Structure 1
C-alpha cells in the first residue's frame, strides 16, 4: 500500500470517528437540554400550583375571619365565599397542569392535598350554613374540626413541597 492511500484511509477513519463523536455529543446535548426544559416547565407548574393554593388559603382565611363575628355580615360572607370558589377553581386548573407533568409521586401528593382541602371545605360549608341560619350551637365544634383539618391540609402541602424538591433535584 502506498503512503498516499494509507494517509487517505487514515484521514477517512479520523473523519468518521470525529463525525461519530459529534453525533453522540449532539444527542447528549439534546437530552440535557430537554431535561433542563422539562425541569423548568415542571418547576413553573409547581410554583403556579403553590401560588394558587396560597391565594385560595387566603380566601379561606377571610371566610373563617368573617365567621368569627358574633353575628356575621351575610353579604360580606357571601362575597368571601364567592372569592374562595374562584380561587379554588384556580387551584384545580393549576393542579391539572401539574398532574399532566407528573411524576406519580407528585400526583399522589396533589391527591392528598385535594382530600385535605375537601375535608376543610366541608366543615367550612357547615359553618357558613350555620351562620346563615343564625345557629351557634355547633360553633365550637366546627371551629375545632376546622383547625384539625387546616393542620392536615398544611401537612399535605408541606409534603407536596418535599416531593417537588425531590423531582426537581433540590432535595437538600
Structure 2
C-alpha cells in the first residue's frame, strides 16, 4: 500500500472513530437524560404523595373540628328537647338561643370543608347542615306549640268551670282531637287530612293565630307514636340526624383510607 492510500485509510479510520465516539457520547447522554428524568419524576411523585398526605391530614383536622361542632349542637338541641318535655318553657327558650349559637359554630366549621373538599365530603356535610337547620326549625315550632298548648289548656280549665255540659266544651274537644292526632302513626294516610281539619277548628275558635295553630299541628304531627318510638331506639326522634352524621363519618373514613 502506497503512502497516499495509507493516508486516506487512516483518515477514514479517524472519521469513523470520531463518529463512533459521537454516537457513544450521544447514547450516554440520552441514558443520563433518561436517568435524570426518572429521578425528577420520582421526586415529583414523592412530592405528590407528601402533598396528598398533608392534604389528608389537613382535611382530617377540618372534619374532626366540624364533627365536634355538630356534636355540640346535637347536645344543646337535646337540652332544649328535655326542657320542652318538662314543660319548662323559659329554660327551653334560653337553651334554644344557645342551640342557635351552636348551629352558627357548625356552619363556620362547614365553610372550611367547602374550601378543603373533596366534593363527596362537601355534599355529605351539606346534608348534615340541612339536618341542623331542620332541627332548629322543629325546636322553634315545638316551643311555639308548647306555648299554644298551654294557652289551650288554660282556656279549657276556664271552660270547664263555666260550662256545665261536656258536649258544649269545644276547647276540650280540640284537646281530645290533638291527643288522637298524636297517637296516629306518621304513615297513616288519614293523618294529614285529620290535622288540616283540626287546624281549621282551632283557628275558628279564635284562641290561636293561624301561625301558632300551624306550629301546634306541625309539632303534634311530627311526634312519634309509642310504637314508632320503640322501633327507632336507641336514637328515637334523632334517628335521621344520627343517620346523616354516620354517612358523613363513613365518607370521611373512606377518603382517609385512600378510597376514591
For the aligned pair, the TM-score class normalised by the smaller chain equals 0.7 to 0.9
User: Is the Cα contact below 8 Å between 2:83 and 2:92 reproduced in 1?
Assistant: yes
Structure-2 change in CA distance of 1:68 and 1:101 (3 Å): same
Counterpart pick for 1:63 among 76, 80, 104: 80
Question: Which range moved further: 108-117 or 129-138?
Answer: 129-138
Asked which structure has the greater CA Rg, the reply is 2
Q: Give secondary structure in 2 for the equivalent of 1:77.
A: helix
Kindly report the root-mean-square deviation, in angstroms, between the aligned alpha carbons of the 2 structures. Answer: 3.1
Q: How far 1:7 sits from its partner (Å)?
A: 8.2
Question: In the TM superposition, what are the counterparts of 1:118-157 in structure 2 within 5 Å?
Answer: 118-133=133-148, 134-135=150-151, 141=220, 143-144=223-224, 150-157=238-245
Give the Cα–Cα distance (whole angstroms) in 2 for the partners of residues 41 and 24 of structure 1: 25
Question: In the TM superposition, what are the counterparts of 1:101-112 in structure 2 within 5 Å?
Answer: 101-112=116-127
What's the CA shift string for 1:9-53, capped at 9, x where partnerless?
676555434322221111111111111111111111111111110
* Correspondence for 1:90: 105
User: Is the Cα contact below 8 Å between 1:119 and 1:149 reproduced in 2?
Assistant: no
User: Is the Cα contact below 8 Å between 2:89 and 2:143 reproduced in 1?
Assistant: no
Q: Give secondary structure in 1 for the equivalent of 2:65.
A: helix
* Correspondence for 2:192: none
Q: How many residues align?
A: 169
Give the Cα–Cα distance (whole angstroms) in 1 for the partners of residues 22 and 120 of structure 2: 60
TM-score by length of 2: 0.55
Give the Cα–Cα distance (whole angstroms) in 2 for the partners of residues 31 and 98 of structure 1: 21
Q: How far 1:84 sits from its partner (Å)?
A: 0.7
Q: How far 1:170 sits from its partner (Å)?
A: 6.2
Question: Which range moved further: 143-152 or 28-37?
Answer: 143-152
Question: In the TM superposition, what are the counterparts of 1:76-87 in structure 2 within 5 Å?
Answer: 76-87=91-102
What's the CA shift string for 1:85-105, capped at 9, x where partnerless?
111001101111112222222
Q: Which structure would you say has the larger RCO, counting Cα contacts within 8 Å and 6 or more residues apart?
A: 1
* Correspondence for 1:50: 67
Query: Which residues of structure 2 form unaligned runs of 5+?
Result: 1-16, 154-174, 183-219, 230-234
User: Is the Cα contact below 8 Å between 1:66 and 1:73 reproduced in 2?
Assistant: yes
1:72 equivalent to 2:152? Answer: no
